Amino acid sequence: MPRFLRQFGLRTLLLFCLLVAIVFGLLRWQMDGIHRQHAVAKELLEKGASIEWKTSGLRWVRDWVGDYYFTQVVAIHLQEKKLHDADLQVLEDLPALERLYLAGNPLITDATIGHLQGLKHLRRLALCATGITDDGLTKLATLQELEALDIKHTQVTQAGLSRLAPLPNLEELYHRFEFTDEGLAAVAQLPVVHFRELQVQELSEQGFALLPKIRFSGITLQSPQVPDWPRFLYHHPTMGQIVLSDAAITDEQAKQLIKTNDLYKVILTNVPVSDQVLPALAALGNWLSVHVKGTKISANGFLTHFGDRKPLKISISEESISMSSMGLPSLYLSYTGPVPLDDIPGLAHLSDADYLSVSSKKVAIDLSHLPSLPSLSGCYFDAPLNDTALAGLSHQPSLGTIAVKTVGDQFTPNGLRALKGCPCLETLLLDAEVPLTDKHLAAISACKQLQSLAIVSHGEITPQGIAYLADLPQLTELSIGFKEQPDGEVLAEIAKLKKLETLKITESIIKDENIPSLMEMTHLKELIVFRARMSAAGKERLRLALPGVLVEVYDQLKPRFPL
């Protein structure tokens, strides 16, 4: 025996040897386990799996030994791989597995859950569209770290959900149930689970009484039959969304429901509430989304109360209103019901709107109630527009864009001339169905700040009308369409607009005989021609004549302009 060992007793040496044997045994067991994990990973990869690994352990040990023995499988994706239960027995050799996704394998049964019972670190499990039943849920009881479970489109029943009660950390449960009394009784036993959306149907008073015990962010209720059912949702600890349809509820009940919950999304469809609930709705917090349809709420009431929430974008038609702000916090509001476009004083409350869109095929929009809106920068009208409406826009201090897409001649040159009162108007877009004459262009020429103009000639714009555009000192972009082949003299007059940088000729039949007039436009930076009937030689001739101009010639029509 070496001299340095003689100082130790035999018992001490035996204990030391035992300790060394245990340490090396554990190392060998760990190494064998890692080897087995790599073998399982290879087998699963052959079945089309996607695998994620995680390396852990002391850095200095890993530098000495290498990462191989400290890297384990933590996530496996095996969705829609036509797997059977026997294919998943190898999962038992992956003790560090944290996330397992088996969705879309209908041949997997409860037997597979038996292979997972030893995975003590499993936190997320997706069993969507598999053959799992209530008995399979019972076997999950050993997965004490499980936090999220997906059982959509399985054979699990509502009553079977009570078998998840032994899972202390289960917070997310993904399903497709419309819960009845029986289902709510089951999920009431899962106090940690938080449902993103709870859909319920045919609840009795006993079912409603269970709702305060269940954690959910949103609830969908359709045709509740229990008298005074809203009282079960007053002061709910987690509810932030409610979707309610075909429900009997009074204004007072609705106000109490809104005031006693921290709601951020409310959808009411065919619910007999009136304008009396609007103050409570409008007082809700940030990130608000409210949608009402088939109620007794009026359009003007909706605009009046929610206008104070300072929406930025407003869209109005004869049947709906939508208001939104896409910034932080976001705001999205919609009203579906009759909108009296000829009498909407509620517009006076849209103090922070920067975009207004109005659509109608019947009634002229009344903008006489529109006050000076300091932020309004763009307006789009797909509605009959008269001089009074244009006059209502003339005093908007920040209005930079007006787009009109309508049928008829409701506005006159005098209405257009009133737009000179818009100090920031830079873009005016008049769509193809707005018939214009030289008098209209003369009126437009009074808007000295215009930089971009879109018009269409119905045969009544002459060279004299184009000449009026020379009075627009900042006009750099012109989009003009002709219902017929344009007159050469009109194109020649356009060529005299030397400050133009971009010319777009739309909805026009441009042929080779028009090319000489276009060749005079050497001052342009960009020339775009739609619906051209030019020959290939004509197109090339035009490009050679304008070497400093980006020339684009298309045979199709130009799409309608966007705002």
- Which of 121, 155, 176 is the C-terminal boundary of a domain? 176
Whether the upstream peptide bond of residue 329 has omega within 30° of 0, thus cis, is: yes
Q: How far apart, in whole angstroms, are the C-alpha atoms of residue 70 and residue 55?
A: 6
Q: How far apart, in whole angstroms, are the C-alpha atoms of residue 514 and residue 254?
A: 68
Asked whether the beta carbons of 295 and 266 are under 8 A apart, the reply is no
Q: How far apart, in whole angstroms, are the C-alpha atoms of residue 470 and residue 497?
A: 6
Q: How far apart, in whole angstroms, are the C-alpha atoms of residue 63 and residue 474?
A: 70
| pLDDT number for residue 412 | 87
- Which of 142, 176, 210 is the C-terminal boundary of a domain? 176
The reply to whether 138 falls in a domain is yes
Q: How far apart, in whole angstroms, are the C-alpha atoms of residue 492 and residue 12?
A: 111
The reply to whether 166 falls in a domain is yes
- Which of 148, 176, 204 is the C-terminal boundary of a domain? 176
The reply to whether 396 falls in a domain is no
Q: How far apart, in whole angstroms, are the C-alpha atoms of residue 472 and residue 112?
A: 77
Q: How far apart, in whole angstroms, are the C-alpha atoms of residue 126 and residue 104?
A: 9
The reply to whether 538 falls in a domain is yes
| pLDDT number for residue 560 | 44
The reply to whether 359 falls in a domain is no
The reply to whether 405 falls in a domain is no
Q: How far apart, in whole angstroms, are the C-alpha atoms of residue 350 and residue 356?
A: 10
CA of 488: how far to CAs of 44, 320, 481, 535, in Å?
74, 46, 14, 18
Tokens of 92: 């038992």
| pLDDT number for residue 2 | 59
Q: How many residues does the chain have?
A: 563
Contacts of residue 189, Cβ cutoff 8 Å, sequence gap at least 6: 162, 165
Unique residue bearing structure tokens 């309508």: 406
The reply to whether 274 falls in a domain is no
| pLDDT number for residue 562 | 38
Tokens of 224: 């509740």
Which CATH number is 172's domain given? Answer: 3.80.10.10
Digitized pLDDT (tens) for each residue of the chain, 563 residues in all: 555 555 555 566 566 555 655 554 554 545 566 788 888 889 999 999 999 988 876 666 556 666 667 788 999 999 999 999 999 999 999 999 999 999 999 999 999 999 999 999 999 999 999 999 999 999 999 999 999 999 999 999 999 999 999 999 999 999 999 999 999 999 999 989 999 999 999 999 999 999 999 999 999 999 999 999 999 999 999 999 999 999 999 999 999 999 999 999 999 999 999 999 999 999 998 889 999 999 999 999 999 999 888 888 999 999 999 999 877 678 999 999 999 887 888 888 888 889 999 988 776 777 777 888 888 999 998 887 888 888 888 889 999 999 988 655 578 899 899 999 899 999 999 876 677 889 999 999 999 999 999 998 877 889 999 999 999 999 999 999 887 777 788 999 999 999 999 999 987 788 888 889 999 999 999 999 988 888 899 999 999 999 999 999 988 654 444 33
Q: How many domains does the chain have?
A: 2
Q: Give the Cβ contact number of residue 473 at 10 Å.
A: 10
Secondary structure letter of residue 275 according to DSSP: G
Would you say the pTM of this structure is higher than 0.75?
A: yes
Contacts of residue 248, Cβ cutoff 8 Å, sequence gap at least 6: 224, 272
Q: How far apart, in whole angstroms, are the C-alpha atoms of residue 481 and residue 432?
A: 8
Query: What residues make up the domain containing 45?
Result: 9-176
Asked whether the beta carbons of 101 and 74 are under 8 A apart, the reply is no
The reply to whether 251 falls in a domain is no
